Amino acid sequence: MKNHLLPVPLFISLLCLLLCGSLAQAMDIGLLAPSDQRFRAELYYEDYQRDTRQDYPSVYPASSYVGKQEEKRLIARLSLAPQRRWGLSLELGGTDSEHSEQIAPLLGAGAHLVVLERGNLYASLFGRLTYVSGIEYKESYGGYVDELNYGYGTWQRDEDYIEYGGGLQLGTRWQPCAWAELSGYGGLLLSWVKETRSKERERATGKFRGQDFDWSYSDSTIDMREEHQAQLFAGIELRALPSNLALRLESRFYDRTSLSAALLWAF
């Protein structure tokens, strides 16, 4: 006879998703449970927000800026589990940063190791790496007063970065009936952002009191980093049996809250 009482970890995951979730995202983790399926194909969407700090060491005096980085991502993830207790993953997708000129390509990789398995309960250690290349921001500005006073300019920033992440996931599984399985998980994520390329340039031309001016600026020493490295996360996955098609939701909460959604097939 099946136990139809909802396990405590699943209840906590559901509660976190319902009360803490909103469309703002940091690195997606996914379900890292022991598995007899060797492959797992997943398509997930995330609306990404995080606090970042940008330092300008070459400016005198040196300055910094604290702001919000926002991206919308669509990513395909393929996971391989050569053995039941460890696996690897590859990701390919695109990210659309707010105010950027175009969608930038994204590549990712990950690995996990199940370090504890007791019945339906498990604990996994994991690591993630994401590389984003070719983000381009551009703005134009200017104004006209009269033929002796006017000016126009453009500002552009090019950016590539790597995001590193790792942590611990705890989870459990529950089968309420013959045609469905529900998994719940949660844990701690530590993440860092490292820019591999960051360059700003600006140019303005025009006239001031009848005198022509042509001003330009370029800075390639900008350093960006994430303000909050530690995050808590929780997720649930509902799998249809025996097809192994599933829907997954994941939430992250600390300084900002988050929610991502995925459709997947294990085989």
Residue 149 near residue 142 (C-beta atoms within 8 A): no
In the prediction, which pLDDT does 13 show?
57
CA pair distance 39, 32, nearest whole angstrom: 13
Name the more confident of 61 and 141: 141
pLDDT at 117 over 90: yes
pLDDT for 77-110, tens place per residue? 999 999 999 999 999 999 887 777 788 899 999 9
pLDDT at 23 over 50: no
Domain enclosing residue 240, as ranges = 8-135+161-195+227-266
End-to-end CA distance of the chain: 27
In a domain, 149, yes or no: no
pLDDT at 222 over 70: no
Number of domains within the chain: 1
In a domain, 106, yes or no: yes
pLDDT at 132 over 70: yes
In a domain, 42, yes or no: yes
In a domain, 24, yes or no: yes
Name the more confident of 149 and 229: 149
Which of 213, 66, 234, 229 has its CA nearest to residue 149?
213
In a domain, 252, yes or no: yes
C-alpha distance from residue 178 to each of 10, 173, 181, 184, 222 (Å) = 18, 14, 8, 18, 56
What is the rounded average pLDDT of the residues 64-89? 83
What is the rounded average pLDDT of the residues 49-57? 60
Q: Would the pTM of this model clear 0.85, i.e. be above it?
A: no
pLDDT for 171-221, tens place per residue? 998 888 889 998 999 899 888 888 777 777 778 888 888 888 888 777 655
Residue 16: CATH number of its domain:
2.40.128
In a domain, 140, yes or no: no
pLDDT band with cut points at 50, 70 and 90 for residue 1: very low
Could you tell me which residues come within 8 angstroms of residue 104 by beta carbon, excluding any fewer than 6 positions away?
Answer: 94, 95, 96, 97, 132, 133, 134, 135, 136
In a domain, 237, yes or no: yes
Residue 9 belongs to what H/E stretch?
A: helix 8-20
- Average pLDDT over the chain, rounded to whole? 79
In a domain, 207, yes or no: no
